[in-house]
Amino acid sequence: MSTLAQRAAQGRAILLAGVFINLLLAVVKMAAGWFGHSDALIADGLESTLDVLSSALIWLALKYAARPPDSEHPYGHGKMESLAGVGGALILLAAGAMVALNSLREIFHGAPDRPVPAIFTLGVLFFVVVVKEVLFRITNARNREVESRALESDAWHHRSDALTSLAAAIGILIALIGGPRLVSADDWAALFSCGIIALNGLRMLRGSLGELLDEQAPHETIQKIMTCAQAVPGVKNVEKCRVRKSGLTLLADLHVRVRGDVTVSAGHRISHLVKDALMEGGYHLSDVTVHIEPAEEPAIAGA
């Protein structure tokens, strides 16, 4: 199995685990919210249901993105991974909007005599917070290995779910202490968490759109690639290094200066040495385009 296929498989494995855990938590939260009279817990359960859909879509996208290049897609299918990141971010924003609308409806139009949430809902929520934070940390750690924008999106889904559950727990605790007159604290807490969800969703959306628009890779990555290329024998210096992300891999395009009097054959050999060094350098590059340019103009005989 290739390195790309291995990284994609690792990402899909953690996503699949998240799908089953989110499905279980969604059922538990909605059932506890229904029997425990907590609108925030029901809304939280609906948000987890969207997480199931989001994780499943990202799983499919990672599977598609791992396909090798073909005649119709010579650069591979990696953009599908970034597109899944956009979809995940939009689902996250939709979930936040749904929770916000439900909270506003209950705050301004909810029944004034609705019951205070049951105390057992606190235990359910604190359990959810722990599970979702652990999922966030595991998924985010795997994302640092795989370097997937879609997987990062899924990790932040877990963190957002943990935050909404924590906010709901705080709101329920206030309602339990204050009694019926503070029962709306449950909804105010859910509304507050929507702001956090929106910020995370917008951050993820910006990053994924940047990849789709071929945004330049981080400066540190560019410097490492240029340093590696410049260490190849025959290379005088490197300039105009452009690197863009395509799924789980990077595509590099750089200009390499060599002595002006080298032959075409020698220049061609140097370009292959540069490409080989970069492809084997551990930078997750799937392709490198090397342009050879003279470091100085060769002397003209008889001039």
Burial 146-172 (b: 16+ CB within 10 A, else e): bbbbbbbbbbbbbbbbbbbbbbbbbbb
Q: pLDDT for 286-302, tens place per residue?
A: 889 999 988 765 555 44
Q: Which residue has the tokens 């020698």?
A: 266
CA distances from residue 196 to 154, 160, 164 in whole angstroms, order as listed: 15, 7, 8
Q: In the 8-state DSSP scheme, what is residue 218?
A: P
Angle, CA 19 vertex, CA 14 and CA 25 arms, to 5°: 120
* Structural domains of the chain, with CATH: 3-212 (1.20.1510.10), 219-294 (3.30.70.1350)
Residue 302, pLDDT score: 47
Residues 6+ apart with CB under 8 A from 39: 33, 102, 103, 106, 110, 186, 187, 190
pLDDT of 274 reads 93
Which residues of the chain are modeled with pLDDT < 70? 1-8, 10, 39-40, 43, 110-114, 149, 183, 186, 296-303
C-beta separation of 3 from 150 below 8 A = no
Per-residue model confidence as pLDDT tens digits over 126-151: 898 899 899 888 888 887 777 776 77
Q: Are 212 and 79 in contact (CB under 8 A)?
A: yes
The owner of tokens 């499905």 is: 23
- 3: amino acid identity, one letter: T
Would you say 219 and 171 are in contact if contact means Cβ atoms under 8 Å apart? Answer: no
HEC states along 104-117?
HHHHHHCCCCCCCC
> In sequence order, what are the residues at sequence separation of 6 or more whose Cβ sits closer than 8 angstroms to the Cβ of residue 112?
none
Report yes or no: 152 and 214 within 8 Å, Cβ to Cβ: no
